[in-house]
Amino acid sequence: MTTQIKKRPRVPVHGVLLLDKPVGFSSNDALIKAKRFLNAMKAGHTGTLDPFATGLLPLCFGEATKFSQDLLEADKTYTTVVHLGVTTTTGDTEGDVLVQKPVDVTVSAIEQVLKQFNGPIKQVPPMYSALKRDGKPLYEYARAGVTLEREARDVTIHELELLDYQAPLLTLKVKCSKGTYVRVLGEDIGAALGCGAHLKELRRIQVGHLVLEKSITLESLESMPEQERLALLDPVDALLSSFPSVRLGDELATRFLHGQRLALGKEAVLLPERAGRVRVYRDSDGQLLGSAQLQEFQILAPERLINTQ
């Protein structure tokens, strides 16, 4: 007779966990583990890190998942080690070697080439990516030996800093816009240097205003008691802290939670000087109510609402 072990029921958990993703894990694998450690009902991550990459992976739980799109849109910062002289099928260490060339590159040449990639650039997405064509990810075509035409996309490299060069390894710091493939950036830098390249290491150190220094590893998370794990969660509004706040009295807060647009011109509500996205709180207890757009004529239009029950 076998004894079945009862699974603990999942519980509502709300907030943001900053995870330092280990190498070899997909973002979804890391999310599933963290979700199990917190015994959480609902969770999502905010932008995929490739399995070979490590670093900051913000995980959203419960009500925080409503605002995960904001981090998908945010700028990202990485440190990366580019292996010059070797190109691979995937642009990183997971692919097969295609071409090997000798590396005879000076620091001066590298600095000149890096200038070409600073600012707005065009970038062709890699075949080994999750972008879809006819409902199928590009990497499935690539694995079948099929190469499809891809349109170049506009991305922006805000910062591109040379940290170290010990041939053939080039260490860079990259701050870039959403949609940037650092793998492709490494390949393009290698091509411009005439020797080719692939990424040996990639570590994400910042997403928007969230930083790696405040993250925790899966190993550390697993070793903690459950209450200590829950105490690590940042509040839901950690994802919105870059937006100005608006505080509403109880009556206006109730109307806001019902999805009503509020004309605040004659109300005693302190408003930001500029229109745009805001985070909204109930003044009496500091409860986050959600996000909104402050429009012309001091109209507050609800955007995403928090379940305050």
- Summarize the confidence of residues 246-264 as an average pLDDT: 96
Mean pLDDT of the chain: 92
- Summarize the confidence of residues 297-301 as an average pLDDT: 94
The residue count for the chain = 309
Out of 4-8, 32-36, 108-112, least confident range: 4-8
Confidence of residue 307 (pLDDT cuts 50, 70, 90): confident
Read off the tokens for 5: 């072990």
50 is catalytic: yes
- Summarize the confidence of residues 22-40 as an average pLDDT: 93
Confidence of residue 71 (pLDDT cuts 50, 70, 90): confident
Active-site entry in 50, 70, 92, 188: 50
Confidence of residue 132 (pLDDT cuts 50, 70, 90): confident
Per-residue model confidence (pLDDT) at position 309: 66
Per-residue model confidence (pLDDT) at position 129: 80
For the segment 261-284, what is each residue's pLDDT rounded down to a tens digit? 999 988 889 999 899 999 999 999
Per-residue model confidence (pLDDT) at position 7: 66
CB distance 155 to 177 below 8 Å: yes
- Report d(CA 9, CA 38) in Å as an integer: 11
For the segment 108-118, what is each residue's pLDDT rounded down to a tens digit? 999 999 999 99
Per-residue model confidence (pLDDT) at position 4: 53
- Report d(CA 302, CA 284) in Å as an integer: 19
Does this model's pTM top 0.95? My answer is no
Q: Is the pLDDT of residue 6 over 60?
A: no
